[in-house]
A = this chain, B = another copy of it.
């Protein structure tokens, strides 16, 4: 059911929800963050591997987004002390709490892609 004007719910509840959504989106803001997280959910990756794997990202942007994810403790950065240096990024325990998101985002995307291809209406 699509809500009507009369379905209006308490303002404060909506406001709290909006703020919480903004909090989440702030942390995930950046074109590639969710994509990086999803990859790291599968397995740890080196900087160079991410750079090669993520189509279209530049080194500058990759290192910035990785740093932001690390500051928020969603991923962990591990440096090997040998030469040449090897840096591995892996999802953190806390990053795994985003699991519900990294499940429902692709779930919706899949059904949307099917819907589009059935309808042939929009470009994807």
- A residues adjacent to B (C-beta < 8 A): 2-5, 7-9, 14, 16-27, 29, 31, 34-35, 38-39, 41-44, 71-72, 76, 90-94, 96-98, 100-102, 104-113, 115, 122, 124
Contacts and interface: CB of A to CB of B under 8 A. Distances in A.
A106 B2 contact: no
A41 B98 CA distance: 23
B112 A27 contact: yes
A71 B38 CA distance: 28
B101 A5 contact: no
Given A2-B93, A24-B105, A91-B3, A18 B43 contact: no
Contact of A106 (B20, B43, B76): B20
A97 B115 CA distance: 12
Nearest to A54: B18
